[in-house]
């Protein structure tokens, strides 16, 4: 007796996932740029406040707070700049037809990860296992 299990009308349906489009990446880069600009203003403001207060004295609670806020702003600024660079890199990879391929292991980066982080250059496993 032959059981024919092939065929049927319910073929695999293709989900259209809107990842890896130029539009998404350019939006991402623009958002990151705006964040960089806002943080640069904030950072400049904090630097001004510190010099206006005339103190970077650790014993002055206000000086310490300002120093902490400057460090915090500097860290956020560095992260935002990295995001701009990552979006740029992703756009270059898209142009080269290599977008969505992990730059470490060469495996495809999951659609879910690309949706959450359009500028991701590594797959979730490499991102989890390595620093950087
Ligand atoms: Zn990988």
Tell me, what's the pLDDT at 68? 87
What is the distance in A from the centroid of ligand 1 to the CA of 48?
43
Percent of the chain with pLDDT over 70: 75
Residue with tokens 């496993």: 125
Distance CA 85, CA 97 (A): 18
In three state form, how does the secondary structure of 49-82 look?
A: HHHHHCCCCCCCHHHHHHHHHHHHHHHHHHHHHH
Q: How many domains is the chain built from? A: 1
Question: Does residue 108 sit in helix, strand or coil?
Answer: strand
In the predicted model, is pLDDT for residue 132 greater than 50? no
What is the distance in A from the centroid of ligand 1 to the CA of 117?
15
What is the distance in A from the centroid of ligand 1 to the CA of 33?
27
CATH of the domain at 43: 1.20.120.910
Q: Are 17 and 111 in contact (CB under 8 A)?
A: yes
- 9-55, pLDDT tens digit by residue? 455 555 445 566 899 899 999 999 999 999 999 999 988 887 776 65
What is the distance in A from the centroid of ligand 1 to the CA of 19?
18
Expressed as residue numbers, the domain containing 101 is 2-129
């Amino acid at each position: 007796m032959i059981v024919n299990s092939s065929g049927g009308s319910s073929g695999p349906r293709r989900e259209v996932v809107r990842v890896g489009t130029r539009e998404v990446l350019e939006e991402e880069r623009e958002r990151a740029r705006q964040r960089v600009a806002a943080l640069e203003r904030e950072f400049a403001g904090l630097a001004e406040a510190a010099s206006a207060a005339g103190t970077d004295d650790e014993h002055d609670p206000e000086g310490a707070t300002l120093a902490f806020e400057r460090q915090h702003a500097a860290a956020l600024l560095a992260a935002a700049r990295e995001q701009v660079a990552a979006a740029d890199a992703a756009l270059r990879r898209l142009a080269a037809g290599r977008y969505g391929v992990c730059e470490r292991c060469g495996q495809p980066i999951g659609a879910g990860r690309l949706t959450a982080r359009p500028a991701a250059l590594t797959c979730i496993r490499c991102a989890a296992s390595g620093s950087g």
